[in-house]
Structure formats: C-alpha cells, structure tokens
Amino acid sequence: MSETEIYKGLAGVVVDTTTISKVNPETNSLLYRGYPVQELAEKCTFEEVAYLLWHGELPTAQQLAEFETLERSLRALDPVVKRVIDEIPTTAHPMDVVRTAVSVIGARDPDASESTTEANLRKSVSLFAQLPAVVAYDQRRRRGEHLVEPRDDLGYSANFLHMTFGDVPDLVVVNAFDVSMILYAEHSFNASTFTARVITSTLSDLYSAVTGAVGALKGALHGGANEAVMHVFDEIGTADRAEEWLDTALAEKRKIMGFGHRVYKNGDSRVPTMKAALDTLVAEYDRPELGNLYDTLEAAMGERKSIKPNLDYPSGPAYHLMGFDTLTFTPLFVAARITGWTAHIMEQLSANSLIRPLSLYVGPEERHIEGGVL
Ligand SMILES: CC(=O)SCCNC(=O)CCNC(=O)[C@H](O)C(C)(C)COP(=O)(O)OP(=O)(O)OC[C@H]1O[C@@H](n2cnc3c(N)ncnc32)[C@H](O)[C@@H]1OP(=O)(O)O
Ligand SMILES: O=C([O-])CC(=O)C(=O)O
C-alpha cells in the first residue's frame, strides 16, 4: 500500500488474521470457530457459545458443568460497584453506567495488569458473569426498584431476566433472549472489537480494552442502533404511517437506524434467526401491530433504497416486547459481546503488533512564527 492511498473508515482493509469468526457477505454466512451461528442459536446455550469463542471448541458435558458452576458463583453485584452505580445520576446513559462499572471492576482487581491467557480468561469469565447484574440493576434503580439477587439454579439468560424483572418469564421469552445473546456475541473486526484490539496492542490491560470497546459500541452507527430503532418505531407509531415517515426521513438525508451494514451489502446473516425469535415474541405478547410496522418499514426501505435490515432491527423490538427499557438495549449488546471482545483481546496478545496506521497530512505547509519571542 503506498502512503498516499487512503482507505476512509478502513473500508475493505484487511488488518490481521483471526480464527474466531468468519463473516462472509458472498454466502451471507457467519461462522463462530467454524460453526454456523444459526446452528449454534438452534442447538446451544449462550454459555456453550461463550466457551466456544474463548476456547475454540464446544465444551464437553464436564467442561460445561464446571464452567456453569464458576459463572453462577460470580454473578452477584459487588457492593462497591453497586455503590458507584448509585452515585451516577439517572440522567446518564446506561452505557455510561456499564462503561464505569467495567472500569471500577478492573480497578478493584489486584491482578488487572496480569496478561497471561489464564489471567485474561479468568477476567473474561468474571465480566461475563457480572455484567448481567450491572445491566439489570441499572434498569431497576431507574424504575425505583430494588436489586434482585441472582439465582444459581437458573441458566444465564433465565437468571438475567430474573434479575431484571424479578421473575422468570415463559420459556419462549428466555429462548428468544438467549438467541439474541448468541447472535450478538461476535462479529470479527467490527468497530468496538477493533477498538479493544487497538488498546490491547499497546499492551494495556483487558479491562481498559473492554472499557474502550463499550464506548465504541455506544454510538448509533454501531451498537447504539438497537436503541435508535425503537425510537424510530415510537416516532412512526403505526404501520400506516411508515411510508410517509420514511420518505420524509430520506428526503432529510437521515440514516435509517437498523438498516445497512459495512460488510453485508445484501442482508445481515443473523437477521432471519432474530426475526424468527421476534415473531415468537409478537405471538407470545399478542402484538401483531408491532410485527406489521416492522414488515412495512422493511419493505418500504427495500423499495426505496434496496437497503436491508441489520441485526439491530429485529433486536430492538424484541427487547421492547421482553419488557426492557429502550435505553437498556445497547447494554444488553455489551453483555453478549463481552465474549467476542475478550476472545479478540486474547488473540491480539497471542501475536501482537502495535496497531498504528498512517495518515496523509493535508494541513498548512511548514510555516514559522513572525518576529521575535514576546
Ligand atoms: C450491529 C451493528 O453494529 S450493525 C450497524 C448498526 N448501525 C445502523 O443501523 C446505523 C444505520 N446504518 C448506517 O449508518 C450504515 O449503513 C453503516 C454505518 C452501518 C454502514 O455504513 P457504510 O458501510 O459506511 O456505508 P455508507 O454509510 O457509506 O452507505 C452507503 C450508501 O448507502 C446509504 N445508506 C447506508 N445505510 C443507510 C441507512 N441506514 N439509511 C439510509 N441510507 C443508508 C448511504 O447514505 C450511502 O448512500 P450514498 O452512496 O448515496 O451516499
Ligand atoms: O460488523 C460490524 O461492523 C457491526 C456488526 O454487525 C456487529 O458488530 O455485530
């Protein structure tokens, strides 16, 4: 690559190899460690997928039992983290709370700077286990509700919902939530994962890399889009208003949240699986009008721009139907993506090279201060 070629937004640039996931826009497929994500969503739990992403292989029955026991033992919200969260005004976005919580958890870990794979695996499992408590508690305190303690007789997703809502919903809801976690878990060199890898490449610690990744995920062009989709649905209201709303938004050159993707130009491989999960929720909660709005906006966007939905489009309304507040949607993405981020942090460290691209300087030519020193 010559110094003067510019790849704005690094579009199309291959910066490293990875063995964690393969995004293939030609075949519209996504593999985690070789397994199609649709197959994982159908046959595995999120715990099994997390193990796969970290270790490269699905767990045996014994490995899974050991992993589940460990994860369940780490679920409770650290009282110090709770106190810090309580100090954060509810005017702050929940992503700011998650970012702060990760930072506090890191600052309280005496081995934060230890960077062996073993140490990073321990930190990864610990964050994976603790994030649901952070996300659930933050939503509850905003509603004036008390902390709900975790239950160690429940799987990851059932417990997450229990800590958020105080009870375990129907299996259909738990399954849809688990599927969303699996689909959100990993997606190669997306902006937040790349952020984590950049930070790791300086030999900074895992918590710093995850804190930075949370910041990158917050933006509306990335993870923040699942929240933004729900704002769009609220703005439109009902399906009969969708076309008019879209024409106005496009005339105003607005980006339609939940549509388009940097890599997939012909549809996101994860959308059909998440849409099927959304359909089960629309039936469960008897909310056909939400399904109609979804379909109408998707069809109108297809007709006008030939741009297809990304994963955030079905996830937003799915989380809404489950009862999550709209501002909590992107923190749910964090709880899932912690698996992919940390797998990438460990991979980056295993063959590290400082990430430091070049820029083409287009500022003023060399110049000098007139006159003497004042
Ligand atoms: C899980 C995830 O993070 S998935 C991404 C979630 N983000 C969103 O849903 C936000 C909305 N989408 C977008 O802003 C974009 O599609 C992105 C940022 C995701 C990808 O963008 P890029 O690959 O940079 O494509 P780019 O923005 O250059 O778009 C190409 C063309 O399609 C248009 N386009 C792309 N997405 C959209 C959209 N959502 N709404 C309207 N127009 C769009 C662009 O305006 C551009 O048109 P032009 O060539 O006439 O200028
Ligand atoms: O890959 C991307 O650019 C964004 C995305 O879909 C993800 O991170 O899941």
Give pLDDT tens digits for 297-346. Answer: 999 999 999 999 999 999 999 999 999 999 999 999 999 999 999 999 99
Nearest to 19 by CA among 360, 246, 348, 240: 348
Q: What is the pTM of this model?
A: 0.97
Over residues 258-291, the pLDDT tens digits come to 999 999 989 999 999 999 999 999 999 999 999 9
Choice among 187, 261, 320, 344 that is catalytic? 261
Q: Do the beta carbons of residue 159 and residue 166 sit within 8 Å?
A: no
Q: What's the rounded mean pLDDT across residues 234-257? A: 98
* DSSP SS3 for 2: coil
Give the residue carrying structure tokens 């501002």.
327
Whole-number pLDDT of residue 128: 98
Q: What angle do CA 277, 283, 287 make, to 5 degrees?
A: 110
Over residues 217-230, the pLDDT tens digits come to 999 999 999 999 99
Task: Quote the percentage of the chain above a pLDDT of 70.
Answer: 98
Residue 3 has pLDDT above 90, yes or no: no
Q: Do the beta carbons of residue 194 and residue 219 sit within 8 Å?
A: no
Residue from 193, 257, 262 whose mutation best tests the ligand 2 pocket (most atoms within 8 A of CB): 262
| Ligand located closest to 23 CA | 2
Q: What is the mean pLDDT of the chain?
A: 97
**Contacting residues for 332 by C-beta, under 8 A, at least 6 apart:** 135, 180, 181, 184, 226, 319, 324
Over residues 140-199, the pLDDT tens digits come to 999 999 999 999 999 999 999 999 999 999 999 999 999 999 999 999 999 999 999 999
**Contacting residues for 73 by C-beta, under 8 A, at least 6 apart:** 129, 152
Nearest to 184 by CA among 329, 297, 348, 11: 329
Strands 35-36 and 29-32: antiparallel
**Is the C-beta atom of 225 inside 6 A of ligand 1?**
yes
How many Cβ atoms from other residues are within 10 Å of residue 146's Cβ? 9
Residues touching ligand 2 (Cβ under 6 Å) are 187, 190, 262-263, 310-311
Give, for 172, the enclosing helix (H) or strand (E): helix 171-184
How many Cβ atoms from other residues are within 10 Å of residue 299's Cβ? 12
**Is the C-beta atom of 228 inside 6 A of ligand 1?**
no
Give the residues across from 31 on adjacent strands.
22, 36
* DSSP SS3 for 249: helix
Whole-number pLDDT of residue 374: 61
Q: What is the CA radius of gyration of the chain?
A: 22
Residue from 190, 226, 255 whose mutation best tests the ligand 1 pocket (most atoms within 8 A of CB): 255
344 flagged as catalytic: no
Give the CATH fold of the 225-322 domain. Cytochrome p450-Terp; domain 2 (1.10.230)
C-alpha distances (whole Å) from 336 to each of 128, 206, 285, 330, 367 are 8, 16, 24, 10, 51
Whole-number pLDDT of residue 4: 79
Q: What's the rounded mean pLDDT across residues 207-224? A: 98
Determine which residue's CA is closest to atom 5 belonging to ligand 1.
Answer: 222
Whole-number pLDDT of residue 371: 86
Q: Cα-flanking dihedrals φ and ψ of residue 21, to 5°?
A: -150, 155
Whole-number pLDDT of residue 217: 98
Give the CATH fold of the 20-221+335-350 domain. Citrate Synthase; domain 1 (1.10.580)
The whole-angstrom separation of Cα 189 and Cα 263 is 10
Domain boundaries, the chain: 20-221+335-350, 225-322
